[in-house]
Structure 1
Amino acid sequence: METPQPPLTPDQRFALEQKAKYESFARKAAFGGVIICPLIAFLPPRKLDLYTFSLAVGTYLSADHLSDSYTNRGLIENAFRKVRFNPIPDLPTDKARETQERLRQERLEKDGEAMQKANDEKNLLHRLWMGNEGPDWKEKRIAEERQALEEGKTYTGMILDQIWEVWNWDKNKGAEDGKNEDGKKP
């Protein structure tokens, strides 16, 4: 049986009425903020400035107040609330536990096969992109560049030489002109 509540004093009753009025006003203002703030933000001229940022904050605070008033949790708490993936933590029978373990093993095997396939595809793409280059290709390239600069070549010349190699599939320039390796025509 409920214990009888002592009668409220006029000040307590007035405070409860004021609190109810405030909560009613706050909820109505939050509904207005959720609707009106985005509308104002999307009116022309649309620009990203302090005014738009303050409207976004107003929208968030209004939505957070509504979420808190309905669920007793804010928006962030609702968004990142932990979800239990296994609603039945203890299975009732040994057969059910065995079935769950078998399904878990099958899922792990499928995941392992998928990871192996992804690694194989990655290796294939890596081989296609890098060709026959080894892991020390950067050092070799820097050494070749340094040697070419010491010989007096310019970066433009080196770039044109690389374009020539790619375009002609690494054929010698002299072979294209009809010259042999000595630089003389036959």
Structure 2
Amino acid sequence: MTFRSPFPDETIPDQSVFDFLFGDLSDADARRVALVDGPSGAETTYGALKRQIELLAGALAARGIAPGEVVALHAPNVPAFATVFHGILRAGAAATTVNALYTAQEMQRQLEASHAKLVFTVGPLAETATAAAAGAGLRPESVIVLDGSPGLADLLREGHAAPDVTIDPATRVAAIPYSSGTTGFPKGCS
């Protein structure tokens, strides 16, 4: 049985998520604070975030990530999450977010089901991510520890230009979050 909302369907804009969010960013908006790191108080402006996203998209493209690919993001709520999530989308790929509390076996199942090609994680979760990636048949260099070496800062320093990608926003999957698995194994929802 299908349930429909009583509200009209939303119209999907004919542009990427990146263009929708950052395409008409004014100079004044570029100087506004987008993210604040709670523990350190470090601030990231919208302009800096946009540049980071574009640089990460370029680094992903240099590693063969293209439209139709899937990249996993296994991290808690840290400022780098926004850069990586939107960098994946800017490269034309889909992001699958992985529960930070997953075991290696649970994560491996998601990596296999989503066909993820790369995994981004953080130091405290790296052991789980590395084991899951190995179990899913990914090479060790397919796991990028954001706060490690090489990490996010190293990828951004590579300076690769963001790729020119053409996607159909109405049919291209941007994110593959997974259900909680309360009635069985978690399933990808797109």
- TM interval, short-chain normalised: under 0.3
Q: Which has the larger radius of gyration?
A: 1
Judging by fraction of residues, say which structure has more helix.
Answer: 1
Q: TM-score, normalization: structure 1?
A: 0.21
